[in-house]
Structure 1
Amino acid sequence: MRTVYICKSLISLSLKNSSHLNKTPISLFPLLFFSSSLETPIAVANYLNDRHKFSAETASKVSSVVKYVKRPEETDSILSFLQESGFSDTHLQRVIKNAPQVLSANLERSIKPKFKFFQDLGFSSSDVVEIVSNDPRILTRSVDNRLGPSILTLKSVFGSNMDDVSRFVKRYGRILSFDLAKTMIPNIEFIMKSCGMSWTQITRYVYNCPRLFLFKPTQIREYVKRVDEMGINRKSKMFLPAIRAIRTMSIENWELKLEVFKSLGFSEDDILSVFRRAPLVFALSERKIRAKTQLLLSTGKCDISYVVNHPFLLTLSVENRLKPRLRVLEVLESRNLLLKNPSLATVFWFTDDKFFEKYVLPYSDEVGELFVVNKV
């Protein structure tokens, strides 16, 4: 309506001035173009709620970062393009919630090139949806300065095997936000040299635990120094897990965990032994360490030395493994159904299927329902 009004006013003005030939005529076209391109900004919450039926929770979160949608029709085009590319309503809300900048992006210059980049690498449409949904901020990254170099780096790590790169990116899409040439490559080279690992070993570890290789090289060297001080041999298979554990803790956190172990009855030698055998125990919270240790000791089937010799027990879930299996054993023992008392380490090491086959299936009338209920 506003455009029509402006047009009528300009035409009227032009007719009034048409007799004054000595004056420069007014050109309507620039003004008409300018007026037709104007859009009234809309509050983000109203835009997402009313225009696109986003959830109130998503609209509220986005509006705390972005107040207005300045060009609603352009933003409509972005959302339409994402829908046409296979994004569901849930995907869309995840993208906008985690990367509100997408609302003000340029579809042709910023959004579409990211999709073309992945498609040119051989990723399917569903792959791209998965990658972007897992890390929507990918849509805000530069293809030339970040995404492209990151893919090249991953190719150098995985031997240009695009199947491996594809699986890796789908699983850890956020890694493309890092400057891998300055973090991953120097860290891989340092750890290989320090630990005497083969390229095959290191790439397997990169695939399963990439975050370890994303720290600044100076930080990795500091973690290695701290692990050395714990007495773990660099060629031990526990060396990299020890680095993983150390990087989750500040010196203060480490001291707190030492105090928890000491309060439970562990000596300093016991604590170091646990760390050397199962360093990831120290990545647990103080609360979990205390709860799991107290549960194991309360059974009367093991003492501190048993836990020290089988520290993997502290890495198991209380609700999904420790308690259900202890309850099954308790019932079987109370009814004298076991010929001998099994080792707790063995019982807890079994997979769920193996435990079911050995301790539940033969006694299904007594513990079948109990194990299923607790397992769930």
Structure 2
Amino acid sequence: MYSLVHHGRRFVELRKCCSLRVSVQNASAFSNSFSSATATDVRIRDGRKGNNFTVSYLVDSLGLSKKLAESISRKVRSEGKANPDSVLSLFRSYGFTDSQISSIITDYPLLLTADAEKSLGPKFKFLQSRGASSSELTEIVSTVPKILAKKEGKSISRYYDLVKEIIEADKSSKFQKLSLSLPQGSKQEHKIRNISALRELGMPQKLLFSLLVSGGGFVCGKEKFEESIKKVVEMGFDPTTAKFVEALRVIQGFSDKVIEEKVNACKRLGFVVEDAWTVFKKWPSLMKNSEKKIENSIETFIGLGFTRDEFAIIVKRYPICIGLSAESVKKKTEFLVKKMNWPLKNVVSTPAVLGLSMEKRIVPRCNVIRELMSKGLLGDRGRELQLPPMQYVLNMTNQLFLERYVMKHDDKELVAELMSIFTNGQVS
């Protein structure tokens, strides 16, 4: 195992040299992204007499987005005995800031439906009785809110100790072997040992903690887990990325024989072995698709006018297209080619457009382009009217799109008209 860990660490150091940063300050950044959300007057009853729990309260007090606040309120409303105010009061009584509470509720909304007195309170008290300081308690729960889903007692204690050790290790840039007394052969023992091995490979907190609190996976025996890690490392996956986790799940879930059969199935469908592995590295979940699913995907694309060779190119560039529904692929391709008059080859060269939202991205932007075309306002001065490249129109950010195609016009009425078309985003 030492050589494997050494290999993994060297791989991580090389990636760091290329400006790859392993960081876990996402929680605060994520919560801050909601700070500009606006309030709403929607009110939701929390199931208790006379108490109003409002969406505007979540937006104004915790900085949640309106959409997330409404989603949380619906979940709270579905729990007849939920009292979210008592949950928020409990967190504040233990020293959690509004920013921390915002991060916690964003990551684990169902906490608002928990019983503060009977469920959450005893867990906080238990952890304090084991020596957890106020700062440690708030930091760890804010980083891994789902730790509160663990049962009070040894279960939550062990997970808490592991999270604490990982956080402290990252602060000191050192990592000591985890020494928790766990029942030999138990699921907890397997999971914590295996996650500790991933930590030694350089996997960041964000990924480790999501695995730690997940319901299943990574609970196999030591030898099988080490063999799976070895295969994934040798394939060239970066231990600091989510793709490493995806690949590890796939490799663990299938035997060598099954994986070989799936590669052979890709060969029968027109892929060379190298292409199959190239796609797997881009999208590890490829192996989860059946031969029938891949075959149906080929038929869908060929039915739209693509050749088999073009399909192979599309899959290599955007493997996730295999997982898209036939209806989605048809709807987007026909709109782009028949309504917008972009050549089919444009989809081949930029297949990621098939993964974009029809309602939020494709239709609003294309309606603006069509309106500009109808008014003769596209193209350089003195040149023939020309439809801009598909990838150029659809891949840029909303802000850049609006600057390039809407806000640049001097005619205020035209700008207002284009903004209305863009905002409404209706298929015409």
TM-score interval, normalised by the smaller of the two chains: 0.5 to 0.7
The match for 2:420 among 367, 370, 373 is 370
Larger fraction in helix: 1
Deviation at 1:279, TM superposition (A): 0.5
Q: Are 2:286 and 1:245 aligned?
A: yes
Structure 2 gaps of 5+ residues are 1-46, 54-75, 159-181, 267-271, 380-385
**What secondary structure does 1:202 align onto?**
coil
1:202 to 223, 227, 238: 238
Deviation at 1:191, TM superposition (A): 2.0
Determine the C-alpha separation between the residues in 1 that align with 2:295 and 2:217: 31
Matches within 5 A, 1:283-362: 283-339=323-379, 340-362=386-408
How far apart are 1:262 and its partner, in Å? 3.3
Per-residue deviation at 1:330? 0.9
Give the alignment's TM-score, normalised by structure 1: 0.60
- Structure 2 distance, partners of 1:210, 1:285, is 25
Select the residue among 171, 174, 184 that pairs with 2:213. 174
Q: 1:219 maps to which residue?
A: 254
Kept in 1: contact 2:332–2:358 (CA 8 A): yes
TM-score by length of 2: 0.54
| 2:110 match | 94
Larger Rg: 1
Cα separation, 1, equivalents of 2:299 and 2:275: 27
Offset, 1:103: 6.5
Q: Whole-Å Cα distance in 2 between the matches of residues 283 and 117 of structure 1?
A: 47
**RMSD (Å) for aligned C-alpha atoms:** 4.7
- Distance in 2, Cα, partners of 1:274 & 1:159: 37
Q: Cα–Cα, structure 1 residues 216 and 203, in superposed 2: closer, same or farther, change >3 Å?
A: closer
Indicate conservation of the 8 Å contact 2:265/2:291, yes or no: no
Structure-2 residue corresponding to 1:70:
none
| Residue 189 (structure 1) aligned to one of 230, 236, 240 | 230
1:271 aligns with 2:311: yes
Q: Within 2, Cα distance between the matches of 1:287 and 1:114?
A: 51
Residues 239 and 269 from structure 1, CA distance in 2 versus in 1: closer, same or farther, beyond 3 angstroms?
A: same
Offset, 1:278: 0.9
Post-superposition offset of 1:370: 3.3
1:221-236 maps to which residues of 2 (within 5 A)? 221=256, 222-223=258-259, 226-227=262-263, 229-230=265-266, 231=272, 233=274
Equivalent position to 1:125, from 121, 125, 138: 138
Indicate if the aligned counterparts of 2:201 and 2:239 stay in contact, CA closer than 8 A: no
**What SS does the corresponding residue of 1:333 show, helix, strand or coil?**
helix
Contact 2:259 2:287 in 1 (8 A): yes
The answer to whether the 8 A contact 1:138-1:177 is kept is: no
Report Cα offsets for 1:301-348 as digits up to 9, x if no partner: 334333223211211111121112111211221122222432112222
Per the TM alignment, residue 352 of structure 1 is displaced from its structure 2 partner at its CA by: 2.4
Distance 1:305 1:323, change over 3 A: same
Deviates further, 353-362 or 82-91: 82-91
Identity %: 17
Match of 2:172 in 1: none
Asked whether the equivalents of residues 229 and 248 of structure 2 are also in contact (C-alpha less than 8 Å), the reply is yes
SS at match of 1:204: coil
- CA distance in structure 2 between the partners assigned to 1:370 and 1:105 by the alignment: 48
CA contact (8 A) 2:232 2:251 kept: no
CA–CA distance in structure 2, aligned partners of residues 331 and 210 of structure 1: 45
Question: Relative CO higher for 1 or 2, CA cutoff 8 Å, sep ≥ 6?
Answer: 2
Q: CA deviation at 1:277?
A: 1.9
CA gap of 1:118–1:289, structure 2 versus 1, over 3 A, is: farther
Deviation of 1:218 after TM superposition, in Å, equals 4.5
Greater mean alpha carbon deviation, residues 269-278 or residues 212-221 = 212-221
Q: Which runs of 5+ in 1 are unaligned?
A: 1-47, 62-77
Structure 1 residues 218 and 236: CA distance shift in structure 2, 3 A: closer
Give the 3 Å change call, closer, same or farther, for CA 354–139 of structure 1 in structure 2: farther
